[in-house]
Amino acid sequence: MNKYRDIYCGLVTENDVDKQIKLSGWIENIRDHGGIVFVDLRDEKGTIQLVSNDENMFVGLSKESTICVSGVVRKRNEEDYNDHISTGKVEFVVESLEVLGKASNVLPFEIITSHEVNEEVRLKYRYLDLRNKKVHDNILFRSELLKYLRRKMDGLDFTEVQTPIISASSPEGARDFIVPSRKFKGKFYALPQAPQIYKQLLMVSGFNKYYQIAPCFRDEDCRADRTLEFYQLDLEMSFVTEEDVYKVGEEIFYDTFTNFSNKEVSPRPFRRIPYKEAMLKYGTDKPDLRNPLEIIDISEIFVDSEFKPFRGAVVRAIRVDDLASKSNSWFNEVVDYAKSLGMPGIGYITVEDDLSFKGPIDKFLTEEDRKKMIEATGIKTGSVLFFIANKNEEVAAKQAGYIRTHLGEKLELIDKNRFEFCIINDFPMYEFNEETGKYDFGHNPFSMPQGGMEALVNTDIKDIKAYQFDFVCNGNEMASGAVRNHDIEIMKKAFELAGYNEETVKERFKSLYTAFQYGAPPHAGMAPGIDRMIMLLKDEPNLREVQAFPTSVSGADNMMGSPSEVSEQQLREVHIKLR
């Protein structure tokens, strides 16, 4: 019978002193003090110091080799305690050693500082990067959060259902990854951008509440908050309204963020902000409400202005109090930032003691203009008013939003210890595409228009709103959702306005088109982004830090060597010829 008991390195305590145990793990460090060798052994639970009086025992072994050691736990001298590790009051005297896996003498990077290494190198050797405690803990955290979400959804009486990964191509706003068929010559499957149609079909199938931890695939350029493959908590409910989905979403986000963070979380119900108001006040449909600055529309003041850049343009202003004393160099930096956005610069005025204005734009203002500006913006002594102007309303809104964010960060107005949630709703059903010169769906094509058929028939297309909404936190879109269009006649008309005739709808959405003719319930749902939730909770700069094996920002996987070439035989089997 083996006299040694297996135990995790990081779980050895003072209660194990004088006990004979066995440990397995990775060598983190070797220190030869001449006649006595100290080794730090690491596993997933932590690190412990090994001690050996046999200086030959670890000869030939390098850092990151895996070993199994047997021996006895003893207490350290009090002056040798290590407060940086959980096992710092004990050490392990090695009696025997078994080498399990030797590591190369040359590592691509030091494990302990891998999170500081160039990302391309980290991801090429991701299996080494994941040994780093900080990186490793993100994936363990992800596991705990997924367990919590499943318990939460079970408690809300949702049924977990898995939907297919191999599906049909669907126009949902991003490029599909397409998969050629070997059996059906010239035809293709697609990886789902989201389980959108399947979740709606589940409602038609009589499932009351559905959810799944769903993988989603989009052939888009990667960035900090977007990767080729990501996961969402997909959910849908039958016989519900928009408010019912809000309440479920609020509970999921509030409970998850309060459970996994000590930061302040905005109370429920979350603030509701119509899309139009969000674009006006914040210049974005995903505003960071921790930033107290708001954008003000002052276009009316400049309709007949002598200042040509503002005359008849969309003019937005941002008021910042107690800023007039800043140096010229401080303002010049803001001007340089504006130029980096493609703006010619940024105009501003400062307010003096007697409410007089100072700045290059002031000479173009009349007394009436100044009076109107004070009334519209509430500026006072010490205030600075920044101006953003453009003939295009959308451009002016976005530029003002960027300036608002820049000022908030530059002035350190954003409270990093808060999660500020809101719900953006009343999205426009359609948006004008400058390239095609036509209107297309602005968000989810399967959403119900507000007002139903009457709105589609009697409202100008640019003014039609949809029952669509986004949950937003700290400037990040956390979830999209909608009340779905379950009426086949309304669906046909909605697609007709976007340029799709009935035959096209029948062909491209055959399943929904047919299913809705057999009694479809009203239904609605949403899809919180799991990667983004973890990114915010762990205060990480991008999604790749919370995924086990992500591609790089370029979309390449240098660890697995993808995308890669395939053989001519493989191409022939799926009836593809490269051009």
Q: What is the pLDDT of residue 173?
A: 65
**Strands 418-419 and 264-265, bridge-based pairing:** parallel
List beta partners, residue 5: 21
SS (H, E, C) 474-510: CCEEEEEEEEECCCHHHHHHHHHHCCCCHHHHHHHCH
pTM of the model: 0.93
Are 224 and 535 spatial neighbours (Cβ–Cβ below 8 Å)?
no
Are 276 and 425 spatial neighbours (Cβ–Cβ below 8 Å)?
no
CA 165 to chain centre: 22
List the structure tokens of 221: 């350029």
Q: What is the pLDDT of residue 256?
A: 98
Are 467 and 442 spatial neighbours (Cβ–Cβ below 8 Å)?
no
pLDDT along the chain (579 residues), means of 10: 77 95 96 91 96 91 96 94 94 96 94 93 97 96 98 98 92 82 94 94 97 95 89 98 98 98 97 97 98 96 82 93 92 95 91 85 85 91 93 94 97 97 97 88 91 95 96 97 95 93 89 94 98 97 95 93 93 91
What whole-number distance in Å separates Cα of residue 291 and Cα of residue 106? 47
What whole-number distance in Å separates Cα of residue 422 and Cα of residue 576? 47
List the structure tokens of 15: 């209660």
Q: What is the pLDDT of residue 478?
A: 97
Q: What is the pLDDT of residue 2?
A: 58
Q: What is the pLDDT of residue 18?
A: 95
* Phi, psi at 465, each rounded to 5°: -105, 155
* Site of tokens 């990480």: 540
Q: What is the CA radius of gyration of the chain?
A: 30
Helices 530-537 + 242-260 axis angle, to 10 = 40
Are 115 and 132 spatial neighbours (Cβ–Cβ below 8 Å)?
yes
Q: What is the pLDDT of residue 174?
A: 79
Are 280 and 287 spatial neighbours (Cβ–Cβ below 8 Å)?
no
What whole-number distance in Å separates Cα of residue 209 and Cα of residue 206? 9
- Burial (CB < 10 A; 0-12, 13-18, 19+), residue 534, is buried
- Burial (CB < 10 A; 0-12, 13-18, 19+), residue 386, is buried
What whole-number distance in Å separates Cα of residue 276 and Cα of residue 424? 9
Are 295 and 317 spatial neighbours (Cβ–Cβ below 8 Å)?
yes
Q: What is the pLDDT of residue 294?
A: 97
